[in-house]
Every structure is written in structure tokens, then in C-alpha cells.
Structure 1
Amino acid sequence: MNQATHAEEHLSQDRLPPPEFAMCFTSTPRGARLARRLVAHRLAEWGHSYDSDANETVTLIAAELTANAVRHGHVPGRDFHLRLTAMPHLLRVEVADTRGERAPGLNTPDSPPFDAESGRGLLLVAQLADRWGVAPREAAPGRCVWAELDLQSPR
């Protein structure tokens, strides 16, 4: 192989879109559990081993976002959608559901009362992610909650 061919291969690989996993899941606890497991599996396939900080952190973020989609974004007969994207120095997880009227606020959530049995999901996401937010769902009713993890930031 000559140098020109090798350089063309390298350039074409740089232009490839980042690895992405996207799938719809039933808006049930079982769907949320499956989404969490597939996030961990896909990250491991992309080189972030199951016991790595990146895999554990993004899997926990995905678990919280999918649980919220099931609990707060459930519309009977509608699924939630998960997208996981791996860029060179960033992992991004997005969870979209069809209920747009109950979108969470963008401020860091307040801690729930000490004896509360729920209400800590977005607090965990805010603490674990480098950035997170809420956006309207593209081309469909609902909202998308996303979170990003910088792979170069110290944990």
C-alpha cells in the first residue's frame, strides 16, 4: 500500500460519524432495565470496559433517565427512545419520551426530604454528568433529556 492510499484511508476514517446506538423501548420498568443493560454492553463494545468509570457513570445516568421516562413520561401505548453517542472525548446519552407537559427544570434539582422514597434521579444526573439538559423532542411530541460525560475530565 502506498502512502497516498494510507492517507486516504485515515482521512475517510476521520470523517466517519461517531459510533451511535439508538433504540425504542417499551415504557415499562422492564424496558428501562433492558435499556440500561444495552448501554453498558454497547459502551463495552466501544472500548469502555464494564468496570471503567465511563461505563459505570454513563450506565447510571442512562438508568436514571430511562426510569424517569417510564415513571414521569409514560403515555399508554407509547415507547421511549434512547440514543447513545460516543465521540472522541465525549459520551452522550439522550432519552426521549412523549409527554412534553411535565418537563423537568434546567436548574440543579433540590434534594428531596431525607425520608422521601424518590426524587433523587435528576439530582444524581446533575452530579454525575458534566452537562445535562432538556429539549423538545424533534419531529414528535414530547421532550428529550440528555446528559454528557467528558472523557478527559478528572473524576
Structure 2
Amino acid sequence: MRTARDQDALTVRVFAQRFSATRQGARLARMLAGHRLHVWGVPYDSPQGQAVELVVAELTANAVLHGHVPGRKFELRLVRDRGAGTVRVEVSDAHPGRPERVAAPPEGEGGRGLLLVEAVGSRWGVAPRRGPGKTVWAEVDCP
């Protein structure tokens, strides 16, 4: 049986879950991500915790708005690597289209998600996934 001290010694922790490709699913993913980070020692109100929650919010919103395939869910995966001092956020969906940054009109309501991800994250990218679709990932420095 692992003790609390054993848990503190772990340098890599992973959380993964699938959600319905709806606005409610994206909201639940963000809330669970914040909770998981808190459990892992990254407080809700810390700059790092807020940055990761923003990345989760933007990537899951994109999965729902642009990556939705009827009958398919999206997956959120968080990887906390204490040794590297990062939290990696991965959001996978079944849509084959690849996201790209666009120049959003100043008065428009959308089009800034990846710009925000780029601003608060250390790096981001897109990777193919097993099966149809892609995984959009971002890393946030979290010493």
C-alpha cells in the first residue's frame, strides 16, 4: 500500500478521461482539471493552476466547436511531470482538421483560443492520434 510520502516521491502523474463533445463536457473537463491539479499540489489560485485551466478551457472548447464528430467524445489527458517542471495538456478529438491560429477581428467573439494557449503555455502543437482525428497539446511550466 502506498503512503502519502510514496505519492510525493512520484515525479510523473497522469489523469485521463473522455467527455461528451458538448459545452457542458468542456466545462466539466476544466473543473476536473483544476481539481486534479489541486490534488497534485498546484493550488487553484496559483498562476500555474490558472494557466493550465485556461489552456484546458480553450482546447476543450475548440474540440467541441471545431472538432466535434457526431457520436464521438473528446479526451482530456493531463501529465504532471515534477522532474521537468511541466504540466502537459492533451485534448484529442475525432475530427481530422488541424487547428491553426487565425487573425480574429477586434470586435469578434472568437478566434483567440490558440493565441491565449500560446501566450500562457511554454509550447503547443498538434499530433496524430491512433484512429481518426488528432491531439492538440500544450505545456505549461509549473515548477
**Which residue, out of 96, 105, 121, partners 2:92?**
96
Q: Name 1:35's counterpart in structure 2.
A: 29
Q: Name 2:125's counterpart in structure 1.
A: 133
Q: Deviations over 1:73-124 (max 9, x none)?
A: 0000000000001001111000000001x2013xxx2431111121011111
Q: Name 1:20's counterpart in structure 2.
A: 14
The structural deviation recorded for 1:140 is 1.4
Quote the Cα distance in structure 2 between the aligned partners of 1:17 and 1:140.
Answer: 30
Quote the Cα distance in structure 2 between the aligned partners of 1:90 and 1:115.
Answer: 34
| TM-score normalised by L of structure 2 | 0.89
Aligned AA for 1:134? Answer: V
Aligned AA for 1:116? Answer: G
Q: Name 1:6's counterpart in structure 2.
A: none
Between the aligned residues of both structures, percent identity stands at 51
Query: Which sections of structure 2, spanning at least 5 residues, go unmatched?
Result: none
The structure number with the bigger radius of gyration is 1
The structural deviation recorded for 1:17 is 6.5
Quote the Cα distance in structure 2 between the aligned partners of 1:18 and 1:117.
Answer: 37
Quote the Cα distance in structure 2 between the aligned partners of 1:151 and 1:119.
Answer: 26
Quote the Cα distance in structure 1 between the aligned partners of 2:142 and 2:44.
Answer: 15
Quote the Cα distance in structure 2 between the aligned partners of 1:17 and 1:73.
Answer: 32
Q: Name 1:51's counterpart in structure 2.
A: 45
The structural deviation recorded for 1:46 is 0.4
* Deviating 4+ runs (over 4 angstroms): none
Query: Which sections of structure 1, spanning at least 5 residues, go unmatched?
Result: 1-8
Q: Across the two proteins, how many residue pairs are aligned to each other? A: 136
The structural deviation recorded for 1:132 is 0.2
| 1:149 aligned onto 2:140 | yes
Quote the Cα distance in structure 2 between the aligned partners of 1:99 and 1:128.
Answer: 25
Q: Name 1:4's counterpart in structure 2.
A: none
| 1:115 aligned onto 2:122 | no
Quote the Cα distance in structure 2 between the aligned partners of 1:117 and 1:90.
Answer: 30
